[in-house]
Amino acid sequence: MSTKTVSTGTGSEVIWQPSGAYLESRVVDFMKKHNIADWQTLIAKSNEDTEWFWQAALEYMGFQWNKPYSQLMDSSKGFEWTKWFVDGELNIISNTLDWHQEAGKVAGSRVSVGKDHPALIWEGEDGRSRKLTYGELSHLTGQVASAMLKLNVKAGDAIGIYMPMVPEVVAVLFACFKIGAVAVPIFSGFGPESLATRLNDAEAKILFTADSGKRRGKLIPIKAEADLAAQSVPALEHMIVLKHCETDVPMQDGRDLWFHDVVLNQEPAATQADLSAEHPSMYLYTSGTTGKPKGTVHTHAGALAQIAKELGFAFDLQPDDKFFWVSDIGWMMGPWEMIGTTFWGATMVIFEGNPSYPNPDTIWKICDQHKVNTLGISPTLIRHLKAQGEEWVDKHDLSTLRLLGSTGEPWDQDSYMWFFDKVGKKRCPIINISGGTEIVGCLLSPLPVMPLKPCSLGAPGLGMAIDVFSEEGQSVHDEIGHLVCRKPAPSMTRGFLKDPDRYVETYFTKFPGVWYHGDWAKVDNDHSWFLFGRSDDTIKVSGKRVGPGEVESVLVEHPEVSEAAVIGVPHELKGECLVCFIVMMPGQSLSTDMLKELRDMVGSRLGATLKPDTILAVQALPKTRSGKIVRATIKRKYLGQDTGDLSSVENPEALELIVAK
Number of domains forming the structure of the chain: 1
Work out the burial of residue 595: count CB atoms within 10 Å of its CB; fewer than 13 is exposed, 13-18 middle, 19 or more buried.
middle
Q: Tell me, what DSSP letter sits at residue 660? A: -
What is the C-alpha to C-alpha distance for residues 319 and 305, in angstroms, rounded to an integer?
Answer: 18
279 has a pLDDT exceeding 90 = yes
Give the per-residue pLDDT at 287: 61
Strand partners, 132: 120
Work out the burial of residue 318: count CB atoms within 10 Å of its CB; fewer than 13 is exposed, 13-18 middle, 19 or more buried.
middle
Q: Going by C-beta distance under 8 Å and a sequence separation of 6 or more, which residues neighbour residue 203?
A: 158, 235
| Residue 569 structural domain | 538-657
- Three-state helix/strand/coil letters over 65-134: CCECCCEEEECCCCHHHCEEEECCECCHHHHCCHHHCCCCCEECCEECCCCCCEEEEEEECCCCEEEEEH
Predicted confidence band at 535 (pLDDT cuts at 50, 70, 90)?
Answer: confident
Residue 470: CB atoms within 10 A of its CB come to 12
143 inside domain:
no
221 has a pLDDT exceeding 50 = yes
215 has a pLDDT exceeding 70 = yes
Predicted confidence band at 288 (pLDDT cuts at 50, 70, 90)?
Answer: very low
Q: Going by C-beta distance under 8 Å and a sequence separation of 6 or more, which residues neighbour residue 127?
A: none
What is the C-alpha to C-alpha distance for residues 423 and 401, in angstroms, rounded to an integer?
Answer: 9
What is the C-alpha to C-alpha distance for residues 115 and 92, in angstroms, rounded to an integer?
Answer: 17
What is the C-alpha to C-alpha distance for residues 395 and 453, in angstroms, rounded to an integer?
Answer: 28
CA angle in degrees (0–180, nearest 5) for 66-67-69: 135
- DSSP string over 229-290: HHTT-TT--EEEEE-SS-------TTTEEEHHHHTTTSPPPPP-TT-BTTSEEEEEE---SS
Q: Check residue 151 and give left, alpha or beta (phi > 0: left; psi -120 to 50: alpha).
A: alpha
Helix (H) or strand (E) holding 482, with range, is strand 481-485
In this structure, what CATH number is given to the domain that contains residue 553?
A: 3.30.300.30
655 has a pLDDT exceeding 70 = yes
| DSSP alpha helix (H) spans, 587-660 | 592-606, 631-638
629 inside domain:
yes
Give the per-residue pLDDT at 2: 28
577 inside domain:
yes
Length of the chain: 661
Give the per-residue pLDDT at 606: 85
Predicted confidence band at 564 (pLDDT cuts at 50, 70, 90)?
Answer: very high
586 inside domain:
yes
What is the C-alpha to C-alpha distance for residues 464 and 529, in angstroms, rounded to an integer?
Answer: 14
> Could you tell me if 20 and 424 are in contact, meaning their C-beta atoms sit under 8 angstroms apart?
no
Choose among 407, 188, 186, 208: nearest CA to 283: 186
409 has a pLDDT exceeding 90 = no
Give the per-residue pLDDT at 286: 83
Do you find a cis peptide bond into 451, omega within 30 degrees of 0? no
What is the C-alpha to C-alpha distance for residues 344 and 398, in angstroms, rounded to an integer?
Answer: 23
**Packing angle between helix 39-48 and helix 50-61, nearest 10 degrees?**
110
**What is the per-residue pLDDT across 454-511, written as a single tens digit (0 to 9) for each?**
999 999 999 999 999 999 999 999 998 999 999 999 999 999 999 999 999 999 999 9
Q: Are strands 614-617 and 575-584 parallel, antiparallel or unpaired?
A: parallel
349 inside domain:
no
**What is the per-residue pLDDT across 441-467, written as a single tens digit (0 to 9) for each?**
999 999 999 999 999 999 999 999 999
What is the C-alpha to C-alpha distance for residues 401 and 424, in angstroms, rounded to an integer?
Answer: 7
**What is the per-residue pLDDT across 39-93, written as a single tens digit (0 to 9) for each?**
999 999 999 999 999 999 999 999 999 999 999 999 999 999 999 999 999 999 9
Query: Which three-class secondary structure state does DSSP give residue 594?
Result: helix
The arithmetic mean of pLDDT across residues 266-276, rounded, is: 97
Residue 400: CB atoms within 10 A of its CB come to 15
Predicted confidence band at 605 (pLDDT cuts at 50, 70, 90)?
Answer: confident
**What is the per-residue pLDDT across 625-649, written as a single tens digit (0 to 9) for each?**
667 788 888 999 999 998 877 777 8
537 has a pLDDT exceeding 80 = no
- Rounded to two decimals, the pTM is 0.89
Q: Going by C-beta distance under 8 Å and a sequence separation of 6 or more, which residues neighbour residue 622?
A: 629, 630, 633, 634, 649, 650, 651, 652, 654, 655, 658
CA angle in degrees (0–180, nearest 5) for 288-433-634: 35
The arithmetic mean of pLDDT across residues 563-588, rounded, is: 90
Predicted confidence band at 291 (pLDDT cuts at 50, 70, 90)?
Answer: low
261 has a pLDDT exceeding 90 = yes
**What is the per-residue pLDDT across 326-344, written as a single tens digit (0 to 9) for each?**
999 999 999 999 999 999 9
Q: What is the mean pLDDT of the chain?
A: 93
566 inside domain:
yes
Residue 360: CB atoms within 10 A of its CB come to 18
368 inside domain:
no
Query: Which three-class secondary structure state does DSSP give residue 473?
Result: coil
What is the C-alpha to C-alpha distance for residues 224 and 270, in angstroms, rounded to an integer?
Answer: 33
422 inside domain:
no
